[in-house]
Structure 1
């Protein structure tokens, strides 16, 4: 049995649900074990998050042998009132980048030019 990932202290910008969803968006047939390692969560925590996402209709899966292939409901609207009208697709657009884009922009979206927050 694999050891639990090292915990993180302090706050972060993203929830674990968003991290798991982004990992699935990046690779729809990713294993729970790999999601857990990528997101630094336990496999059980990832299973609970996937269950939450499926229960609320944000995610579904099909089983092919021992492999799950996940399908994200991209047009589903986010739950919090502060993000009213924002879809899962719009969130994932910000979170999931091709590795070449990540390297080219130095990890920053190109539309952000300074620290003032104005493009």
Structure 2
């Protein structure tokens, strides 16, 4: 399976991408999330504020850093998907990533036969 190009449109909005990134790494810095999603750090800050105000994530202060907890029971906002829980969606994304990682790790390296006598 080849990687899809990241130019043009995607199925998820930047809000969805930020949510997936924070679910995968609750201690991620905004700078790191911005690099993963391909947007500015300021845009990530605004999206995190939106997600927090809407109740999709909860921010916890840990020392000098923030840690984020995704509210898995929350539901998608659009009427077409309002029956979908965020936790179920994240499980789907994580299961697909785990399967892809497992498949990549299952590649066997075969060494060439020795030509020594």
Q: Is 1:29 aligned to residue 24 of structure 2?
A: no
User: Aligned residue for 1:117?
Assistant: none
Question: Structure 1: which 5+ runs fail to align?
Answer: 1-7, 107-119
For residue 30 of structure 1, give the secondary structure of its aligned residue in structure 2: coil
User: Aligned residue for 1:46?
Assistant: 44
For residue 76 of structure 1, give the secondary structure of its aligned residue in structure 2: coil
For residue 46 of structure 2, give the secondary structure of its aligned residue in structure 1: helix
Q: 1:67 Cα shift?
A: 1.2
Separation of aligned partners in 2, 1:41 and 1:76? 25
4+ long deviations beyond 4 Å: 97-100
User: Aligned residue for 2:3?
Assistant: none
Question: What are the superposed Cα offsets for residues 60-86 of structure 1, whole Å, 9 maximum, x if unpaired?
Answer: 111112211101110011100000211
Provide TM-score, normalisation by structure 1: 0.75
Q: Is 1:86 aligned to residue 80 of structure 2?
A: no
The question of whether the paired residues in 2 share the 8 Å contact of 1:25 and 1:96 is answered with: no
Separation of aligned partners in 1, 2:53 and 2:103? 36
Q: 1:50 Cα shift?
A: 0.3
Provide TM-score, normalisation by structure 2: 0.76
Separation of aligned partners in 2, 1:99 and 1:88? 17
Separation of aligned partners in 2, 1:36 and 1:93? 22
User: Aligned residue for 2:72?
Assistant: 74
- Determine which structure has more spread, i.e. the larger CA radius of gyration: 2
Aligned residues: CA RMSD: 1.9
